[in-house]
Amino acid sequence: MFDDKEKFKLAYLTKISETEGITLDEGSLWDKYKTLVLLLKENMSFNRALTKKSTMYTKQVYYFSMEFLIGRLLHYYLVNMEIEELVREGLAELHINLDDLLQQEVDPGLGNGGLGRLAACFLDSMAFLGISGHGNGMRYKYGLFEQKIRNGFQTEVADNWLKNGYPWEIPRTEKSIVVKFKGTIRAESVQDKLMFYHEHYEPVLAVPYDIPIMSYDNPSNINNLRLWSAEPVANELDFDSFNRGEFDQAVSLRSEVEAISYILYPDDNGRSGKELRLKQEYFFVAAGLGSIMRSFKKRNISLGDFSKWVAVHINDTHPVLCIPELMRILIDEEGLGWDQAWNITVNTISFTNHTIMPEALEKWPVDLFKNLLPRIYMIVEEIDRRFKERLARRFLDDWELIHNTQIIKDGQVQMANLAVIGSSSVNGVAALHTEILKHQVFKDYYRVFSYKFNNKTNGINHRRFLLAANPALSELITEAIGPAWKKNAEELENLLFYKDNSSFIEKLAKVKYLNKCQLAKHVKESQGLEIDPLSIFDVQVKRIHAYKRQLLNILKVMHLYNQVKNDPQSVRDPQTFIFGGKAAPGYHYAKTIIKLINTLANKINKDPEVKQKLKVVFLENFNVSLGELIYPAADISEQISTASKEASGTGNMKFMVNGAVTIGTLDGANVEIKEAVGEENIFIFGLTAEEVLRYSREGGYKSLDQYYSNQSLRLCVDQLVNGFFETAGEEFRVIFDSLLLYNDDYFVLKDFNAYLEAYQKLQDSYAQQDIWHRTSLVNIAKAGIFSSDRSIKEYANQIWKTNFRRFDSHFPDKRFKNKLGTK
């Protein structure tokens, strides 16, 4: 993009005067940051136009997701364009420090966690592979709340990320779409055909904002992330009401409309059942499909071939209204018959499930649904009716199956059922998860549509989480095996060549140490706490949820504390336990867990007898940017969910590619991580998914048995309520009760011993530093298959049936292989 520094400087100086009307010395840091973004964006817009033109007759993939956690873009795009150094030096000559500008950027919190970040990783890989793949989502005015810890409690601060404007976005007002809610449906026979007219509806204007998506080594291929914002149709006050003196009504209509894209629901894996959420879901679906239809028509392709040229992927059930909405467009607006419309719809849409937690399966009361989306409801009813009819013919009197697979039952619309029936592919996100879908969650559907079910193990964008987030390790890797791993993560396997090379292992250890120093510096600056970069960094960062079992980790730390108090020699190496993650604001139990971590931290960190050995830190406001600092600095990756509950996990992969060693259960993608690294390079413990599911089905687990039979465990559990935490009173009673009174739904007590044993083995291994760093190296080397490039190649080949215009990511870089002489 810029061939040299001088050209860059000139372009930059011109841009700042053009856009801000100021000279450099008048500009604030924000102005300077914004200018750099606008400069890059301008070039990307140009390339977007070219990409669009040249892919006019390429199949387009649309990834519909309520959440996109894209992270900060400026640094990442500079890395992708390979101009970071040039820009850094150019700016330095203008007396600007690039790092100061990078700090100006907000991290758009347009998602809760795993699902939203996965969507962002997928956008990157689609751009990298040259797939015409675009995101379609919501432009929430307020993203996920910012977490502040006050007196040990989580408090939530609104995330007003747009307050200074977001320079990466491009408003496309002229491409707005009208979305219709409520009203009535009039059916009329026109020339022997039944037509449906939506009347007296409440219109809402969906205004798109586009963000350019660009990846490494493919800077001219620009894809698009389109986010929708809700505005009143007239885009003014309702002057009729206003003139009649009904000021309140005029203003409230406006705010009712704007409420739709006002805020992201902060529940992950949770339920909320509020009308506004359903409004959001239909809003971005109708807007997205409306705009896809509009651009499809410009391509002069026959509508009958729609599914050959367009793939729509739905990220969990949140966008499942794509199915009835596409039917509505094809039938009501395009005049197709039901059967043809249904064929097109099913062949266009594919669906990923991300959770088996029953409380996260979306259901909507019929009355609410029908009132908000009358025409869509009619279509859902008809889909259900026809499906049942077909099923009854095939499965005759298997009434149980027929009942279980209905879309509308018990007065509710079952969104997952609609998703399975109306799409051509249903996938889980890790091998184990897909098996659970086939044999438990969707077992009846698996009998009906076995051909739809498939697995696509998640992946992560290794260019963001290794190349950009961990420059020291990236350089070391490139020095050793050449740069081909950036394009083909499986090349990382060549690192195995260095397994017994002590000088390389030493360098690896040094990089880890330096990264730990950087995290320690952040902790010191942000919360005034000293942590020792020479201690083991044992890290659990993710959303706080009972099934993720932060509690198991806490009990371990309490146990170690008790041990050190008894015998200071019982813990050999100093250890720092690092936690981070947000709790849904309404999830009282999860918030109590945060308070417990902080209370424990307080106790341990100020106890002079143990503070040389143990430290506990809760990192405030875990998000993508903080993750980029944490993953490179971790020694131990805690992936300890109750087996069967974590669909995949992706944090596990981000840690692994940065050389952290996993302690975990056989859950989600941990199973595949174990297969990749071998059991000697991972610390696995605990109940298997099968055992957990058997207990849930047949009973037989009594948490009290664990409590009474294990003295040191009993001590820790008692300490939750016996005054051990001097300031706590009855605060942690809910946790105590969850374990004993409510029989420990997540098998924390059951897995406690096995966890401690695995942890002990891990410490023994850490004590032998050369062995430890070799394990770390094997983890990095085997992380290649967990790149989202691999996931996306599988989606493209097997589900979307689209080509990618990049072939070199398959091919090893011969030069470096020869140099190493490994192959």
Looking at the Cβ atoms of 458 and 598, the one nearer to ligand 26Q is 458
Q: Catalogue the active-site residues.
A: 354, 542-543, 548, 650, 654
Please report how close the Cβ of residue 469 comes to ligand 26Q at its closest, in angstroms. 19
Cβ(668)–Cβ(651) below 8 Å: no
Q: Is 635 within 8 Å of 750 (Cβ atoms)?
A: no
Cβ closest to ligand 26Q, residue 270 vs residue 574: 270
| Contact predicate 565/609, CB 8 Å | yes
Residue 37 CB, shortest distance to ligand 26Q, in Å, is 29
The least distance separating ligand 26Q from the CB of residue 186, rounded to whole angstroms, comes to 32
Q: How far is the CB of 386 from ligand 26Q (least distance, A)?
A: 27
Q: Which residues bind ligand 26Q (CB under 6 A)?
A: 112-115, 118, 265, 267-272, 277, 354-355, 360, 362, 429, 458, 646-650, 668
Whole-angstrom Cα distance, residue 228 to residue 249?
25
- Interacting residues of 745 by C-beta distance below 8 A, sequence separation 6+: 546, 738
**Strand ranges inside 305-462, DSSP E:** 310-315, 349-352, 363-365, 408-409, 412-414, 425-428, 453-455
Q: DSSP 3-state assignment of 214?
A: coil
Give the burial class of 406: count Cβ atoms within 10 A of its Cβ; 0-12 exposed, 13-18 middle, 19 or more buried: middle
Q: Which residues of 796-813 are buried (b: 16+ CB within 10 A; e: fewer)?
A: beebbebebebeebeebb
Contact 522, 817 (CB under 8 A): no
Looking at the Cβ atoms of 136 and 706, the one nearer to ligand 26Q is 136
Give dist(CA 61, CA 122) in Å, integer.
11
Beta pairing, strands 202-213 & 170-171: antiparallel
Report the distance separating Cα 60 and Cα 582, nearest Å.
35
Q: Which residues pair with 226 in a beta bridge?
A: 136, 210
Of 582 and 595, the one with the shorter C-beta distance to ligand 26Q is 582
Give which of 347, 432, 333, 424 is closest to 379, Cα–Cα: 333
Q: From the CB of 25, what's the least distance to ligand 26Q, in Å?
A: 46
Residue of minimal CB distance from ligand 26Q? 114
| Cβ at position 691, least distance to ligand 26Q in Å | 20
Assign 3-state DSSP to the chain and report helix, strand, coil percentages, each to 5.
55, 15, 30
Distance CA 78, CA 752 (A): 46
595, HSE (Cβ side, Cα atoms, 13 Å): 22
d(CA 653, CA 116): 16
Do 314 and 349 meet the contact criterion of CB atoms below 8 Å apart?
yes
CB of 171 to ligand 26Q, least distance (A): 27
Please, which residue, 222 or 264, has the CB nearer to ligand 26Q?
Answer: 264
- The residue (of 429 and 468) whose beta carbon lies closer to ligand 26Q is 429
Q: Which residue has the tokens 């629901």?
A: 265
Cβ proximity to ligand 26Q: between 363 and 370 the closer is 363
Three-state DSSP class for 532? Answer: coil
CA dihedral (389, 393, 399, 404) positive or negative: negative
- In whole angstroms, how close is the CB of 621 to ligand 26Q at the nearest point? 18
Q: Which two tokens stand for residue 250?
A: 């005029």
Q: How far apart are CA 514 and CA 577, in angstroms?
A: 18
CB of 479 to ligand 26Q, least distance (A): 32
583 HSE (CA, 13 A, CB side): 26
Q: What gap in Å lies between CA 804 and CA 794, rounded to an integer? A: 11
Nearer to ligand 26Q, 653 or 728 (CB): 653
Instruction: Report the C-alpha gap between 301 and 321 in whole angstroms.
Output: 25
Distances (CA, A) of 646 to 123, 226, 363, 422, 605: 23, 29, 21, 26, 31
| Smaller CB separation from ligand 26Q, 118 or 523 | 118
Cross-strand partners of 148 = 155
Q: Tell the smallest beta-carbon distance from residue 367 to ligand 26Q (Å).
A: 18
Which of 270, 585 has the CB closer to ligand 26Q?
270
Picking from 350, 319, 345, the residue whose alpha carbon sits closest to that of residue 330 is 345
Shortest separation between residue 634's beta carbon and ligand 26Q, angstroms: 18
Contact between residue 669 and residue 711 where contact means Cβ atoms under 8 Å apart: no
- Nearest distance from residue 711's CB to ligand 26Q, in Å? 35
CB nearer ligand 26Q, residue 265 or residue 561: 265
Pick from 460, 375, 387: nearest CA to 418: 387
Is the Cβ of residue 69 or residue 344 nearer to ligand 26Q in the bound state? 69
- Return the DSSP state at 800: I
Residue 428 CB contacts under 8 Å (≥ 6 apart), including other chains: 352, 353, 434, 435, 436, 437, 455, 456, 647
What are the structure tokens assigned to 820, written together?
Answer: 């190493």
To ligand 26Q, the closest distance from the beta carbon of 821 in angstroms equals 38
Closer residue to ligand 26Q in complex, CB, 152/649: 649
